[in-house]
Amino acid sequence: MKSLFLRAQLRALSRCLPIILSSFFCALLLGIGVAWIDGIHASITDSTQLLHGKQRIVSTAYHKKERLLPIVENIAPLTPGFSNLPITAKLQFLAQLEYQSQQHKTSIIGFPTTYINRILKNFQYTGKTLQNPKDIILGKHLAQKLDISIDDNIIMTTQTQDLSPSAHTFTVAGILTSQNTFFDQIALVDISDAQWMTDIEDGATELLLFDDNIAKISQSVQKWSTDHDYPLMIQSWKDKEPYVSIRTITNTINRGMLCFIILCATLTIINISMINTNRSKHDIGLLRALGASQREVFFIMMANTGIFILIGITSGFLVAHIALSTFLAEGFPLGESLSNAAQTLPMAENILPHKDWKRTVSLFLLLFFASIIGIIFPLYRFLQKDPIHTLQKPS
């Protein structure tokens, strides 16, 4: 009896096709849309961990200043003093670079040479590594704006801590091509040159942490703060602007899109289920007349429609995966305007979709259960009717 009913439903293509197509397109939009939003998160995460580490140590005074004015010209000296920990010092400031008649104000970042070499391995680099004092590495966009080449001399002008100007000549060691909105617009120098240019002896604006053992590092930081009477705090780069705002916005978009698609899927399936149930009322009436209980009919209909939904959702996510792995795998270019965006936001110029199987399985289950809920309401309402009224064939 149950198998005959199921075969009758499968033969009625007009009944099963709408619910399969609705499930298919909802799964397709959800799979592709969430992959792009996750791609933005992955782009920001990969770039900022190079720039800020997994965590960072800042002075409380610097943190307060940064909250008021979260841009690169805030400078607070931090003496490293943590040689036994996996920490990289960083000094960041604004300076004007001048070559012939071209001038441009940009971010200068001082890292230890060993860490600069680590950054270069992540991107395309032309030239030699920093070997001599007063060597400088320029991002591709910055070099284009200044119309400068490798081995040319460039004048860097900045302000020291007493606000007096400091101008010195540097030699371009190489050009960095990262296709990143941040790294292609900055200059990298050894931290000793950066400290000297800004008058911060043995100082840094941030200390970058590349270790997950935050408990051990926290003890060392607390001890150093007490010994030197200089308050420090450990902070994740995710708590730094503009990343907080960006993550909030993208998470809101992600959740909004997810809720919208789930709601549309549920309402669509409710509507289609009501139509299908009405079309199948004669078959349901026969099942009831043959002695099937309400519970048996309920589970037969649920299994019947659930199979169609399962086919639609599975095929939708499968097509989404194929699309993300083929013609969408080349990424989405942000455009020249965003490529020249503010230097406070490191992000790849070409956003790639980020595929996560755990996320896909979660979305699959969420969409499936939302669809099942969409079946229950019209079916339960229909089964409350007297079986006698359901035996009449639909016109």
Total domains, the chain: 2
Sign for the pseudo-dihedral over CA of 78, 84, 85, 91: positive
Whether residue 332 is found in the same domain as residue 353: yes
Q: Which of 70, 94, 58, 344 is nearest to 194 (CA)?
A: 94
Tokens found for residue 184: 């292609």
Model pTM score: 0.67
Query: Do the domain assignments include residue 223?
Result: no
Identify the domain containing residue 187 by its residue range.
55-211
Q: Are residues 342 and 278 in the same domain?
A: yes
Asked, for residue 380, whether it belongs to a domain, the answer is yes
pLDDT class of 304 with cuts at 50, 70, 90: confident
In a domain? residue 371: yes
Does residue 8 carry a pLDDT above 60? no
pLDDT of residue 340: 57
Q: Do 332 and 256 reside in the same domain of the chain?
A: yes
Same domain, 42 and 60: no
pLDDT at 153 over 60: yes
Q: Which one of 211, 233, 261 terminates a domain?
A: 211
Residue 66 has pLDDT above 80, yes or no: no
Indicate whether 110 pLDDT > 50.
yes
Q: Looking at the structure, tell me whether residues 252 and 178 fall in a common domain.
A: no
351 & 285 share domain:
yes
pLDDT tens per residue across span 196-205: 888 776 677 7
The tens digit of pLDDT for each residue in 210-239 reads 766 777 778 888 887 888 777 778 877 777
Last-in-domain residue among 157, 186, 211: 211
Instruction: State the pLDDT confidence band at 83, using cuts at 50, 70 and 90.
Output: low
Residue 378 maps to a domain: yes
Distance CA 302, CA 277 (A): 11
Question: Do 36 and 69 share a structural domain?
Answer: no
Does 67 have pLDDT greater than 80?
Answer: no
Q: Are residues 173 and 132 both part of a single domain?
A: yes
110 vs 72: CA distance, rounded Å: 13
